Amino acid sequence: MSQNQQTIKGADALLRVFREEGVDVFFGYPGGSVIPIYDSLFDAEDIRDILPRHEQGAAHAADGYARVTGKVGVCMATSGPGACNLVTGLATAYMDSIPMVAITGQVKTHLVGTDGFQEADTTGITIPVTKHSYLIKDPNEVARFPDIIREAFYLAGHGRPGPVLVDIPFDVSLGEVPWAERDIEGLDAYEPLAVADDADIVRATEMIAEAERPVLMIGGGVIASEASAEVRQLAEKCNICVVHTLMGKGGFPESHELSLGMPGMHGTVTASYALQHSDLMIVIGARFDDRITGDLERFAPDACVIHIDIDPAELDKVRHAHVGIVADARLALEKLLEAVKPRERGDWDDYLLRFREEHPLSYEQGDEAIVPQYVVQQLHEITEGKAIITTEVGQNQMWAAHYYKLDEPRRWCSSGGLGTMGYGHPAALGAQVGRPDDLVCDIAGDGSIQMCIQELATGVINKLPIKILILNNSYLGMVRQWQDMFFDKRYSGVDLTGNPDFVRVAEAYGAVGMRITKPDEVAPAIEKALEVDDVPVVMDFVVAQEENVFPMIPAGKSYEEIMERAPE
Amino acid sequence: MPTEHTISVLVKNRPRVLARVAGLFARRGFNIDSLAVSTTQDEAISRMTVTTTCDEATLAQVCKQVGKLHDVVRVLDHTEDAMVERELCLCKVAAEAAHRAEIVQICDIFRGDVVDIGNGTVIIQLIGDKEKIDAFVRLMQDYDIQEMVRTGKIVLSRGVQAT
């Protein structure tokens, strides 16, 4: 270390790197071990810290922020219980490959490993749910403090994105660390983007030319690599129908003629049919999750696979890739588009489009009880499909996926991989912070909304006018559906009698609350909610209690067992 | 068809790396038959030698998933390699006067060494590949093995390592 080596307070170094990385807002909940950081924040007028009411809210908000902006979301918590409360949010982001940096405080370096007050083995606990993690404790790590933070951001946002955690002991953020300027290529983590191999591209174009029944399946990787335009060009140049996974929703316009919707357990009949009977699946940024495939032995038996993914471990993990391309989706598609020959629409494509007309999603809205699907469809109509939608998990999530059709990417925040109830509300707050001029709506269930209900305070204080649409059937809906369909209606543990009056809860926090009980009240209520521009609106839609999500392919089954609608 | 495979994982010598790799095997259900780890000629790099029993497809996944960890520098799959393979075994066997000669004779046949002799026991040190040590241990089962420890396999591929 040279004599003129500059040293600055660790907390200040952290904020300096935040600025380098373009972080102007983060979601954090303080505690003893992060006081030095919050003290430095007190003077930092250019970095906004948003205080949730539970660390889980901070993590999900950072996640929602990342999904709608494409930036790395940042959350912060103190040591021990604070860090532990981030775990669900980290696991949520990990399963969906969302770029996030989580900063946690830690007890003083000499107390680590001694069962200190509010000590937890944060890095140990979070290893399985983070892309990578750091504990800045050893002197040689403290010596490269700024680079560790830079690396954390780099790892979070490059390659396959994911959450990265940095655990900082109190004395490290309070004390001095060496400051060094940024040299991105010198970073340990630096890795140029993978590019598709020419021979693989040629082979892929041959397979496309030879295919008689091709289908294009897009997943979260298309969103992450901003490849929507290229997907559309490929679909149109080659006249190939497109299905999207839950994570890929919005990556291809659902109003486009070639869009068949979402396949899988609760996918549309057409999308599932298309995959099942295809002879070529072109899979881009998707990972053959079990919700899509069902019984692997019987899934798409005749299909060859072109699999494009930035993560080499996903190729041949679940399904053999005849052509496996490890590359950024957008860059791979650019190369593929140059090489591929145009393809004419054929019998297969026409058949799929007719099939889609013959097998629409459906439900019946009568005059008495509101049917939950109707609420989502009305929201879609009134907002013209232009809102940012977050969801909770379960039936509400599936109906949102079915009936809020999206034409643009980065308008959809749903916990696909982990399926975390409670996610949607704080994610909506984070999304609103990231895109203040957009309308943001959380489609929720009465079970899910209670898991992070305390974040109503966050919304009110920060003037985030999100709309929370609770599809309130007083049940843990999706579990009740399974018990209804497969366990002889032995409803066990799903009765949510005892839900509070959500309108009064909303008002208690200073938000707007509405209760809607009749179908003809739905549209006016939504219109009214859209006029509120300074606080969250909680809309308690009292809906039919035993509505089930269809279509359904039961777990572990295949397209042959698909149930298109409720049995008569 | 599961068979035994040996892989070497070159990792950055950082805290917790062993836990990360072992944890990955555990949570993905990959088994670890043996694991040996230490630093290399480069102090910044450690080498883990892992033997695992699995089929080809799983082995490919093991290598790719391990390779994804940020602290992992390289994964070497030795399945096709010409290797030098060694393991060290210390075996404490009951050896009162009546049996000691036989035991030592077996030890000599295997080119092992008696490294301790005490109250009716000997400790035999044996170095060799896994098959040799397995064979020795099988023979020693006829006597009274009181304690035994093995290092687990370490390997280097023969000739120049392509980098």
Asked if residue A136 belongs to a domain, the reply is yes
Judge if the upstream peptide bond of residue A551 is cis by omega within 30 degrees of 0. Answer: yes
> Among residues A130, A154, A186, which one ends one of the domains?
A186
The structure tokens 């209520």 sit at: A525
Q: In this complex, do A312 and B19 lie within 8 Å of one another by their Cβ atoms?
A: no
Asked if residue A248 belongs to a domain, the reply is yes
Number of domains in chain A: 3
Which CATH number do you get for residue A60?
Answer: 3.40.50.970
Asked if residue A491 belongs to a domain, the reply is yes
Judging by beta carbons within 10 Å of its beta carbon (0-12, 13-18, 19+), is residue A230 exposed, middle or buried?
buried
Tokens standing for residue A465: 């006018």
Task: Tell me whether 0.85 is exceeded by the ipTM.
Answer: yes
- pLDDT, tens digit, for every residue of A409-441? 999 999 999 999 999 999 999 999 999 999 999
Q: In this complex, do B20 and A127 lie within 8 Å of one another by their Cβ atoms?
A: yes
* Distance from C-alpha of A277 to C-alpha of A297, rounded to nearest angstrom: 14
Q: Are residues A180 and A291 in the same domain?
A: no
Dihedral sign for Cα atoms in the order A107, A110, A115, A121: positive
Tokens standing for residue A131: 């892309």
Q: Are residues A431 and A458 in the same domain?
A: yes
Question: pLDDT-derived band of residue B163, with 50, 70 and 90 as boundaries?
Answer: very low
CATH assignment of B84-155, among 3.90.580.10, 3.40.50.280, 3.30.70.1150, 3.40.50.920: 3.30.70.1150
Q: Are residues A347 and A406 in the same domain?
A: no
Can you state the percent helix, strand and coil of chain A, rounding each to 5?
Answer: 40, 15, 40
pLDDT (average), residues A28-36: 98
Q: Are residues A533 and A388 in the same domain?
A: yes
Could you state, in order of their start, the residue ranges of all structural domains in chain B?
3-77, 84-155
A155 — contact with chain B (CB < 8 Å)?
Answer: yes
The structure tokens 């994911």 sit at: A162
Which residue of B13, B16, B27 is the best one to mutate when testing the A interface, meaning the one whose CB has the most A CBs within 10 A? Answer: B16
* Distance from C-alpha of A42 to C-alpha of A250, rounded to nearest angstrom: 39
What is the interface size between A and B, counted as CB pairs within 8 Å? 32
- pLDDT, tens digit, for every residue of A485-517? 999 999 999 999 999 999 999 999 999 999 999
CATH assignment of B3-77, among 3.30.1660.40, 3.40.50.720, 3.30.70.260, 1.10.287.3510: 3.30.70.260
Q: Are residues A497 and A420 in the same domain?
A: yes
Tokens standing for residue A548: 């089930």
Q: Are residues A127 and A203 in the same domain?
A: no
The whole-angstrom distance between B55's CA and the closest CA on chain A is 13
Residue B119 is predicted with a pLDDT of 82
Tokens standing for residue A289: 């999750």
B67 — contact with chain A (CB < 8 Å)?
Answer: yes
- pLDDT, tens digit, for every residue of A62-79? 999 999 999 999 999 999
Single-letter residue type at A43: D
Which residue of A106, A132, A142, A165 is the best one to mutate when testing the B interface, meaning the one whose CB has the most B CBs within 10 A? Answer: A132
- Has residue A389 got a pLDDT over 80? yes
* Distance from C-alpha of A101 to C-alpha of A249, rounded to nearest angstrom: 24
Q: In this complex, do B61 and A124 lie within 8 Å of one another by their Cβ atoms?
A: no
CB A91 within 8 A of CB A163: no
A138 — contact with chain B (CB < 8 Å)?
Answer: yes
Asked if residue A319 belongs to a domain, the reply is yes
> Among residues A358, A388, A413, which one ends one of the domains?
A358
CB atoms under 10 Å from CB of A203, counted, come to 15
Question: What is the layout of strands, in order, in the sheet containing A537-542?
Answer: A412-413, A388-391, A440-445, A467-472, A537-542, A512-516
Q: Are residues A180 and A205 in the same domain?
A: no
Q: Is the pTM of this model over 0.80?
A: yes
> Among residues A358, A382, A409, which one ends one of the domains?
A358
Asked if residue A536 belongs to a domain, the reply is yes
Q: Are residues A149 and A216 in the same domain?
A: no
CB atoms under 10 Å from CB of A437, counted, come to 5
Domain extent, residue A346, equals: 198-358
3-state secondary structure of A155: helix
pLDDT (average), residues A313-328: 97
Q: Are residues A349 and A204 in the same domain?
A: yes
Q: In this complex, do A155 and B16 lie within 8 Å of one another by their Cβ atoms?
A: no
- pLDDT, tens digit, for every residue of A530-554? 999 999 999 999 999 999 999 999 9
Asked if residue A443 belongs to a domain, the reply is yes
CB A156 within 8 A of CB A163: yes
CB A170 within 8 A of CB A36: yes
CB A272 within 8 A of CB A264: yes
Question: pLDDT-derived band of residue B162, with 50, 70 and 90 as boundaries?
Answer: low
Residue B1 is predicted with a pLDDT of 86
Q: Are residues A395 and A297 in the same domain?
A: no
- pLDDT, tens digit, for every residue of A276-307? 999 999 999 999 999 999 999 999 999 999 99
Topology alike, domains B3-77 and B84-155: yes
Which CATH number do you get for residue A257?
Answer: 3.40.50.1220
- Has residue A182 got a pLDDT over 90? no
